Amino acid sequence: QKEVEQDPGPLSVPEGAIVSLNCTYSNSAFQYFMWYRQYSRKGPELLMYTYSSGNKEDGRFTAQVDKSSKYISLFIRDSQPSDSATYLCAMSAVRGGADGLTFGKGTHLIIQP
């Protein structure tokens, strides 16, 4: 079993919908959780960075972490066609991922105009 599980999709939703992206993990040592967005032929760019359990909101994006269930989520409100990309969850036991990040496989998201 891979340490981080993420449904690869594709996930297709209409413009304006609320999108829910999820990852589960098995390593209870993970404390730092990230969501990256990756456009085609580009590198991942950080969207959200959270520590331990709880919620964090930034504009249309909300990240949730439930360490008791080993489950993290990213919600996108009022989705736009420009949100179409691959979303990668990543996590680390060390602050800032100093010994590297463990990634999910990524979910390919398509927002239909």
Partner 1 sequence: DAGITQSPRYKITETGRQVTLMCHQTWSHSYMFWYRQDLGHGLRLIYYSAAADITDKGEVPDGYVVSRSKTENFPLTLESATRSQTSVYFCASSSPEDSNQPQHFGDGTRLSIL
Interface with partner 1 (CB under 8 A), residue from 14, 68, 82, 95: 95
Interface with partner 1 (CB under 8 A), residue from 21, 72, 92, 111: 92
109 binds partner 1 (CB under 8 A): no
Nearer to partner 1, 64 or 107 (CB): 107
How far apart CA 59 and CA 76 sit, in angstroms, is 9
What part of residues 5-64 is at the interface with partner 1 (CB under 8 A)? 6, 32, 34, 36, 41-46, 49
- Count of residues near partner 1 by CB under 8 A: 27
99 binds partner 1 (CB under 8 A): yes
How far apart CA 45 and CA 12 sit, in angstroms, is 21
Closest CA to 36 of 107, 111, 99: 107
* Coil vs helix vs strand at 95: helix
CB–CB of 109/19 below 8 Å? yes
Q: Report residue 25 as tokens.
A: 């993990």
> Please, which residues bridge with residue 56 across strands?
63
Q: CB of 92: closest distance to partner 1 in angstroms? A: 7
Q: Report residue 18 as tokens.
A: 């609320």
**Which positions lie near partner 1, rule CB under 8 A?**
4, 6, 32, 34, 36, 41-46, 49, 88, 90, 92, 95-106
